[in-house]
Amino acid sequence: MTEQPQSTPAMPQNKSGGKFKFLVFGTAIILIAGGIGYQVYNARTAGAQTGVDQAGTSRMNQNLARVNGQYITFDAVANESVKRVGGEILDNLINRTIIQQACEKQGLEVSKGEVTAEITRISQKFKMPIETWYQMLHTERGLSPEQYQREIIWPMLALKKLAGDNIQVSQQDMEKAFVRDYGTMVKSRMIMLDNFRRAQEAYEKARKNPEIFDELAQEYSIEPNSRSLGGTIPHIRRYSGNETLENAAFKLKEGQVSGILEVDHGRYVILKCEGFTEPVVTDMNQVKDDLYEQVTEEKVQQAVSDVFQALKTEARVDNYLTRTSTGANIQQTSGFQNPANVRPAAATQQR
């Protein structure tokens, strides 16, 4: 089923842990479609979201609490909530509506039964009863069963249907994944900086005295996790996401320090090689089935991400809370009324 200024670039994750997160959170979907209901959303029946209950009675002036005779109203709580988390919740509702509209347009639905079946499949994959799986999600991530169904599983299934099932895994895909997951890795330390002058300063010290690289990482690196460990990072793999970093790491000899690598715009990295791992599996046929499943899932998630980004690009969204507009047809058309003086968001076309 997509990334942070001070995070380690393209650092490989523990294979089993990465796979676990992959299945639990559907990769980027939890970020792009939180708050989505697993039944097809119908904006016309969402009265409770506008302060009107099913009986049609306004709740805006409903009293929610009384403090020494003074009432706190629904309206006061709603206004405070909008100030604190309104932007995030509104973004989730916008994303939900975008996906719902695309499903309706193509005549697609995701039933509660399909959601339950998917959760059963995932829990069985990890050899857990569903209740144990739910308990683990609550303990690890604070997710209730309803949130997990609504905010993760439903959007994942809906976007998979929108993406279609035309997923093809080539021999080259398999070979790259095998090298990535089972091949030799580079044991490394890293210093990350966001200032080239500071990077040059750290590099000169590391080049002259590689033995103090861990001290330099603690002094110079802006990446908090590795900095506290003297620059120690997860082993670097081939085909893990950052070609510049990988190529430099695999050219190093044990004890050698790399040059200054620009791994992202304004992000500089210096590596020290501390050796290489030995492959545990050397024959791809031993893990072929697991590898095929993993690569297929990765391709599905990429397709899902691409579909959602395309939907967002095509959708015209006027956000009156943030006073921005995004998506298609940003140019104001004749007769369009703009009650909130909406302005185009960053990277969108001016009206």
Q: pLDDT (tens digit, 9 = 90+) per residue, 248-284?
A: 999 999 999 999 999 999 999 999 999 999 998 999 9
The pLDDT of residue 183 is above 50? yes
Three-state DSSP class for 326? strand
User: What is the end-to-end Cα distance of the chain in Å, rounded?
Assistant: 33
Running DSSP on this structure, what letter comes out for residue 257?
Answer: B
Mean pLDDT of the chain: 81
Cα–Cα dist 27/29, whole Å: 6
Q: Where in the chain is the domain with CATH 1.10.4030?
A: 33-163
Per-residue pLDDT tens digits for 296-335: 999 999 999 999 999 999 999 999 999 999 887 665 443 4
pLDDT above 70 (res 349): no
Distance CA 31, CA 26 (A): 9
- Report percent pLDDT > 90 for the chain: 66
**pLDDT at position 259:** 96
Residue percentage of the chain with pLDDT more than 70: 76
| 10 pLDDT above the threshold of 70 | no
> What is the CATH topology of the domain spanning 33-163?
Triger factor/SurA peptide-binding fold (1.10.4030)
- Whether 36 shows a pLDDT value over 60: the answer reads no
What pLDDT band is residue 5 in, cutting at 50, 70 and 90? Answer: very low
Residue 277: its pLDDT value, please? 97
> Which pLDDT band, with edges at 50, 70 and 90, does 150 fall under?
confident
The whole-model pTM stands at 0.67
Q: Which residue from 160, 166, 210, 208 is spatially nearest to 188, judged by alpha carbons? A: 210
In this prediction, residue 233 carries a pLDDT of 97
The tens digit of pLDDT for each residue in 160-178 reads 999 988 889 999 999 999 9
Count of alpha carbons within 13 angstroms of residue 328, beta-carbon side: 8
Q: What is the pLDDT of residue 280?
A: 86
Question: Using one digit for the tens of pLDDT, what is the confidence trace for 48-92?
Answer: 344 444 444 456 568 999 999 999 999 999 999 999 999 988 998
Amino acid letter for position 95? N
CATH classification code of 184-276 = 3.10.50.40
Strands (E), the chain: 63-67, 70-73, 186-193, 232-236, 261-264, 267-276, 317-319, 324-326, 343-344
Helix (H, G, I), strand (E, B), or coil: what is residue 342? coil
Q: Where in the chain is the domain with CATH 3.10.50.40?
A: 184-276
Q: What pLDDT was estimated at residue 192? A: 97
**Which residues, in sequence order, are bridge partners of residue 19?**
none
Residue, of 226 and 45, whose pLDDT is higher: 226
Amino acid at 72: I
Beta bridge pairs of residue 34: none
